[in-house]
Amino acid sequence: MPDIVETQTHDTVSAPSGATRSDGLDPESAPRPEGRAVPARGAVTIDGRLDEPAWQEAPVLTGFVQAIPDAGLPATEETEVRMLYDDRALYIGALMHDTRPDLLVSGTMERDHPGVSAHDIDLFGVFLDTFLDRRNGYLFLVNPAGAVRDGQAFDNSRNLDFAWDAAVEVATQVHEGGWTVEMAIPWTTLRFDPSRDEQVWGVNFHRSIARRNERTAWAPLDRRHQIHFAERAGTVTGPPRVASGRNLRLKPFVLSQDGRGATLPDWRRGSQADGGMDLKWGVTPRMTLDLTWRADFSHVDVDREQVNLSRFPTFFPERREFFVENSGMFLFGEQSERNYRGGTSAADLRLFHSRRIGLEQGRPVPLQGGGRLSGQVGDTEVGILHAWTGAVDETSGDAFSVLRLRRRVGAASDVGVLMTDRRDRAGGPWNRAGGVDLNLRLGPSLLVSTYAARTSMEETTEGAADQDSWTGRVWVAWRDRLWDVSALARRVGPDFEPGIGFVQRRGVTHLYGTFGAHPRPAIPGVLDMNPYLEVHRFTSLDGVVETTRETGGLAFSFTDGGELSSRITRRMERLEEGFPVEGRGRVPPGTYRFSEAEVRYQSSGNRRVSGTLTAAGGGYFGGSRRSIGGGVRWHPDPRLSVAIQADRNAIEIDGERFPANLYRGEIRAARSTRLYLGGVVQYNEAQDLWISNLRLTWLHAPLSEAYLVFTDRRSTRSGGMGSERLLTLKVTRLLAF
């Protein structure tokens, strides 16, 4: 027996009983388990061994139940969890029994598991709903290599924010009987009500066994739900009147930078030194103030290049940590709903999109400062953000303000308002936007979501009109274990222009409907299947049909973790104006009818070599398009992974043929969970653009980093040479009080 704590036979708390190998329990109706955290009698050393006497006195939380592949059946390997506390921290110890520890899949040693899906590796996960509101909570995922991914979950699993980082201490051990996790989560990391006589939290634990594509939970979950589905968590009682500390964190940084290249902005050229600071203060147990001064994001991952074959702007997600943290609170507009096929996504419309702050056309401008107050007052969520940028070239910089209020209605519904203001700091033009949204959960399966918003602005030219600048939508959806049905109606005015938002298409009415099913057939190797139909119809505000799309699709999920999907789409597009295609061709005005088909296979990522393959083809605005894409990832162990991706598009328009191809290569190497190197090279053939990025990261103390980053961007389009290079050394240090 390895040198770890043995299974206790007393004070054992299991998930609901009644599951057998022949007929498992129903995860949706099973009662929620209850447990208890107890005082640590003696010191706890975070080394992954669980050999301190305190662990042997703690109740055992066990009886994990499968969500995948056999929902409701007991886990194939036993998992035991214990919870302790003292004046400094909450301690969690977990023993994952495993008959084949030599087959564990860690994926990576990097914090936040970049480039690795949580479904493809062995994991132990913890979800903590510290206010027991059954809506929001903290999430910690740990792999056998000791790498942690932490984040926040909002609105009962609707939104996730993995940019949130905790000063959590984690250690793991792999041994002949399985593997163990030992965690210390300081009270200063969490937000909770310290005035309660006794803490009662919503809690769930998760375990993945990668080689079996098995996912289990202490509080049973159906396969379509995950650990952060707050309303289905268990409960744990624990420490009385825990002191949460002053909840004040300072994180200063210094950097040295050297920039070269004709296309680099003047303010980034040459050698320079700079510094700044971030501050985080827990004003109340449920309200946090974040301040930044002279913010710098040079260490953030570069955007993934995209080929845009449509006539609409490209949407890039936010990656900068100051804006991503608590971002779920500020969401207003379209988004992809977990488990639902909704017909829209964030790329359609956002009243607030933080990439409009400190970035112009994807290029950085100096963000001089900003602040954000976010949290809850009673049943009302409050979010206030203000930031300002510095002068660049002939612009004087802008000031940005956002106010978000959202009140909880019942157990799982909410109503809110969002207002934004953007104005030139020198007294130039301004832009304002405001809206009201309502989200209703009517029972476990029915969702209703609606919003209405309006914008106004002062133009720089006289006579500009602002006659029809409002948008609105209603979306109704039903999703249970079998059926997936939704309908959408929305309208976007021609002058709707949120100054800190994103709009893909204006001056249209959009109708959408879908009908699908998720049967779980008794077919060897098949986990479930998803046949579906969906229809889009866009008309101008005058009633002229501009776009129709009718799609039929079929997708399979396999028990080994792989996925296969196919779809056929019939389209009609009416263009009053033509549009360029990646600078290589142009689609002329006209009415076009064509069809296209796509097949995609993604293998399970739990193998040393995994990959994806996509093939598509059909008509394209009077011409044709043939596409094939694929990627391969090789990760022999957690210290190394190599990935390559190629997407090739052959376009033909009016007899002219041209390519629109993308290539990407990535390597990640880790010396430990605190020192790692990542490199990315991308080539956009349509734009003749090469982008290279190399980043060395050293975590020299908890949440304190040192980065060495090299970025090279060069284009040879039209025979001209444009290039830029940036070398940055950045060091941060967390000071907690």
Q: Is the peptide bond preceding residue 531 cis, with omega within 30 degrees of 0?
A: no
653-658 long-range contacts, Cβ below 8 Å, gap at least 24?
653/581, 653/585, 653/586, 653/587, 653/620, 653/621, 653/622, 653/623, 654/588, 654/622, 654/623, 656/585, 658/581, 658/584, 658/585, 658/686
What's residue 11's pLDDT?
55
What's residue 708's pLDDT?
96
Closest residue by Cα to residue 306 from 643, 645, 620, 633 = 645
What's residue 335's pLDDT?
84
- Does some domain include residue 480? no
Q: Which residues contact 94 (CB under 8 A, 6 or more apart)?
A: 79, 80, 81, 82, 124, 180, 181, 205, 207
With beta carbons less than 8 A apart as the criterion, state whether 391 and 338 touch: no
| 509-524 pLDDT tens trace | 999 999 999 998 889 9
Give how far Cα 113 sits from Cα of 121, 671, 675, Å. Answer: 10, 15, 13
Distance of CA 382 to the CA centre of its chain: 21
The DSSP call for residue 8 is P
What's residue 465's pLDDT?
46
User: What average pLDDT does this structure show over 218-242?
Assistant: 90
527 has pLDDT over 70: yes
User: What average pLDDT does this structure show over 391-412?
Assistant: 87
Q: CA torsion angle for 549, 347, 120, 122 (degrees, to 10)? A: -140
Total domain count, the chain: 1
pTM: 0.86
Hey, which bits of 165-324 come out as E strands?
169-175, 178-186, 200-209, 214-217, 234-237, 248-260, 270-284, 287-295
- Does some domain include residue 527? no
311 has pLDDT over 90: no
Tokens of 673: 């969970």
User: What average pLDDT does this structure show over 314-336?
Assistant: 81
- Does some domain include residue 315? no
Q: What is the 3-state secondary structure (H, E, C) of 660-716?
A: CCEEEEEEEEEEECCEEEEEEEEEEHHHCEEEEEEEEEEEEECCEEEEEEEEEEEEC
Query: CB neighbours (10 Å) of residue 98?
Result: 24
| 570-599 pLDDT tens trace | 999 999 988 888 767 788 999 999 999 999
Distance of CA 335 to the CA centre of its chain: 12
Question: How buried is 45 (Cβ within 10 angstroms: 0-12 exposed, 13-18 middle, 19+ buried)?
Answer: exposed
Of 175-189, 234-248, 441-455, 494-508, least confident by mean pLDDT is 234-248
The DSSP call for residue 277 is E
Pairing of strands 178-186, 398-409: unpaired
Is residue 54 within a helix (H) or strand (E), and if so which, with residue range?
Answer: helix 53-56
Pairing of strands 34-36, 234-237: parallel
Which residue range forms the structural domain that includes residue 29?
Answer: 12-237
User: What average pLDDT does this structure show over 634-655?
Assistant: 92
| 56-82 pLDDT tens trace | 999 999 999 999 999 999 999 999 999
Partner residues linked to 406 by β-bridges: 381, 416
| 3-55 pLDDT tens trace | 433 333 345 556 554 433 346 788 888 999 999 999 999 899 999 999 999 99
Alpha-carbon Rg for the chain, nearest whole angstrom, is: 26
What's residue 279's pLDDT?
92
Confidence of residue 657 (pLDDT cuts 50, 70, 90): confident
With beta carbons less than 8 A apart as the criterion, state whether 93 and 82 touch: yes
- Does some domain include residue 178? yes
What is the rounded CA–CA span in Å between residue 661 and residue 346? 25
Torsional sign, CA 555, 305, 358, 279:
positive
Q: For residue 37, what is the domain's CATH number? A: 2.60.40.1190
- Does some domain include residue 690? no
602 has pLDDT over 90: yes
| 356-369 pLDDT tens trace | 998 877 678 888 99
- Does some domain include residue 729? no
**Averaged pLDDT score across all residues of the chain:** 88
Confidence of residue 1 (pLDDT cuts 50, 70, 90): very low
High-pLDDT (> 90) share of the chain, %: 60
Query: CB neighbours (10 Å) of residue 717?
Result: 12
Give 682 or 246, the one with higher predicted confidence: 682
High-pLDDT (> 70) share of the chain, %: 94
User: What average pLDDT does this structure show over 327-334?
Assistant: 87
- Does some domain include residue 50? yes
Q: Which residues contact 223 (CB under 8 A, 6 or more apart)?
A: 67, 68, 69, 71, 215, 527, 528
What's residue 669's pLDDT?
95
- Does some domain include residue 536? no
| 144-160 pLDDT tens trace | 999 999 988 888 887 78
Helices (H) and strands (E) in the chain, counts: 2, 48
What's residue 2's pLDDT?
38
Q: At 140, is the secondary structure helix, strand, or coil?
A: strand
With beta carbons less than 8 A apart as the criterion, state whether 295 and 276 touch: yes
What is the rounded CA–CA span in Å between residue 633 and residue 115? 10
Confidence of residue 717 (pLDDT cuts 50, 70, 90): low
What is the rounded CA–CA span in Å between residue 219 and residue 205? 7
Q: At 387, is the secondary structure helix, strand, or coil?
A: strand
